[in-house]
Structure 1
Amino acid sequence: MNIKKIIAPSMPAAMKKVKDELGDNAVILNSKVVYHGGFLGMFRKKKIEVIAALDEIAVQPKQKTKLKKRKLPDNSHTETIKKETKHVESIARSNRENRDIMSEMAEIKRELTSVRHHHLNIQSYPEYIQSCLLQLHEAELNEKYVQELGDIMLEKWRNASSQPTKQDVISWCNEIIVDQLTTFNFEGIDYSKKYINLVGPTGVGKTTTIAKLAAEAMLEQNKRVAFITLDTYRIAAIEQLKTYAQLLNIPIEVVYKQEDFSAAMDKFADFDLVLIDTAGRNYRELVFVDELKNTFNEVNMATFLVLSISMREKDMGEIVENFQQLNIDQFIFTKIDETQSYGAMFNLIKKYEKGVAYITTGQDVPDDILTASPEIIANYLLGDEKP
């Protein structure tokens, strides 16, 4: 790992030197105020000392594998034919083995499906309801909720005046899901709060989501928007948001300490909306959540917890638990295009009684974002991904 000590007159100047010397993938390990020069302890100049590092293993290019040329002996033609014959026989043998494995896997899948049916106890439902419940189970909806939905649909089935169709059952299920979600807040930004804070673990797409929200606020709501970023952990994160700010013609302030945050709020006092990007860290460790809480203090803001649906639900639940002290207003679910495990959205909403502000469907700014609604989530759960 390449480690360097940088000394500069200010933090922004230090960050620029880090970027120039180590590149966008540099990581800030430590920073502190130091004093230089002076005479007899007086007139010393305050400077910023930053310890930065670059993980060379992570950024080194992959080496190309070179194939060595081998000289064939005089009987190379005969030997080549023998080798090719063995190769063909090996492929044929491998294909037979693969067919056997695929057949075994298909049998195991059928057995697992049967076990799931038994475990879910759905055989007592009519076939159309069973099919709907299996769809929800495949989307990884919590089994408790699957059973509840099945019981409600069964009641509707028994009270139907005529023989229900498959489409009737799907419509019932859709209506029940929507009804159970309407008690939660599904509004996007309502602009009653000027400061919108996005928090969440690393890699969930907070910075890209902020750019999408800024574009929507400017283009559709005609709002004056500004950016504040607390993500000074990685140089690349700052540069990414600065690029979006330049493209959207939005001012941006980089916050290194509490005083910077207060100054940034004062600077953007006349703006309609200030979107705050925070560092992606391992928020299973509560110390990072405490840092955010101390930074924001008593600021009147809306806080959105950004979670990638491609994450394991257990991991998402642990992150939600740790962020509870920040008074999360709503979820933002990202990367829904990278998974089919849509049930986690419903499970987390019900468990933590939090609504959803937005769902992102890709990387394109500003297009790949939806204002969330119970209807959209129901569509995803039932296999109709069109909002």
Structure 2
Amino acid sequence: MTEGILRQILDYSSRANPYPLYEELRKTGPVFHDGDGPYVVSTYHEIKSLLHDPRISSDSRNLASTAGDLLNEGDEEEGQTALPPSFLKLDPPDHDRLRRMTNRPFGPPHSPHRVHDMRGELGGIVTGLIDAIAERGDPGRIDLVEEFSYPFPVTVICRLLGVPSEDEARFHVWADTLAASLDPDPDADPTERVKKTQGARMELGMYLAGLIEERHKNPTGDMLSELSTGQGPDGAMSTMEVLSTAALLLIAGHETTVNLITNGMLTLLRHPEVLDRLRADPALSVPIVEELLRYEPPVQLLPQRTPLADIEMEGVTIPKGSSLWLILASGNRDPRRFKDPDRFDPDRPDVQHLGLGSGIHSCFGAPLARLEAALALSELARRLENPRLLEDPPPYRQNAVLRGPRHLPIGCDKILPA
């Protein structure tokens, strides 16, 4: 079973349920290496240890060779944008400086109310999207991805950055194109895809550059204003750094939340007793989201990490400069850490999952993603009467890293008023 197990995990035929393969991978030991591909760590405690290990680099420039890599993350497009790498792909001290500067207008201690104060606005976006589905007049067939979980986070990012409402439609088009580059159609022309993606990146970059210049002259209190005018202990961001950070917030903040909401609704529809509990008690959305981040995490694995020195782990030497993969979703189902790990249980105690990473590269937008998912799932549970899956499993995205349904066809008897 272990022969070619990574290729099986990455193969699209495994996308709907990779968890049996993760179980087989864990049986080989904490560290798996087939002599040719990357070193793969699949167990909870070892993954968490490496996420906190300063010898592990996220900067691809430290990778000795890309030979043998099985995964293409779409970096060929990103590399041609002329933007500096986002802090997600940097190591300290550059990572720490940029993350601190980005956090000043986003979260505690400098902006403790930024996410909390968006709750009412987020609720209004959710209501508007569900109302639009109701107005369409066919509750018997809804594509939850296209009509709800996809447009919701990108609208939120627009509001967070301060994109004028009249420009949100353009922003949605760019987000659609960039998301498609992360999840390419295997039957599409790759040359055309790259051309289209580069065009969208260029247009988005030019738009953001203009908006940053405007906000620098006339700040309005949104994050783009704060990033472009902020002066703290680390100084000010350059225009290129603001551009890179804004692009990161759009892509990373959008894609993970789409999958979290979609995986969440799929899981709830497969567990109707939990959905009924959520309908009766919206506060249950908080522990439900935490268990979802363990049970069906939106980011399945972190590829292309690189040791800066030889690392010994459970009798295996992971060489300096080698390609290292951390299978977060496997760690979340590790029976050495979680009792009955394949059971979805929102009452599970001590859910210290890896769904949002850990250590210095833990998900920057975690507070916002959690709030978006909790509001979305609780309102869908309340307003959709007798919801049901129309296709199970649904069609999944091609991407093995950002795993989630490409479409989620559901139906309900009717949509209740807000």
- What is the TM-score with the length of structure 1 in the denominator? 0.25
Provide the TM-score with structure 2 as the length reference: 0.23
Larger relative contact order (CA 8 Å, sep ≥ 6): 2
Structure having the higher strand fraction is 1
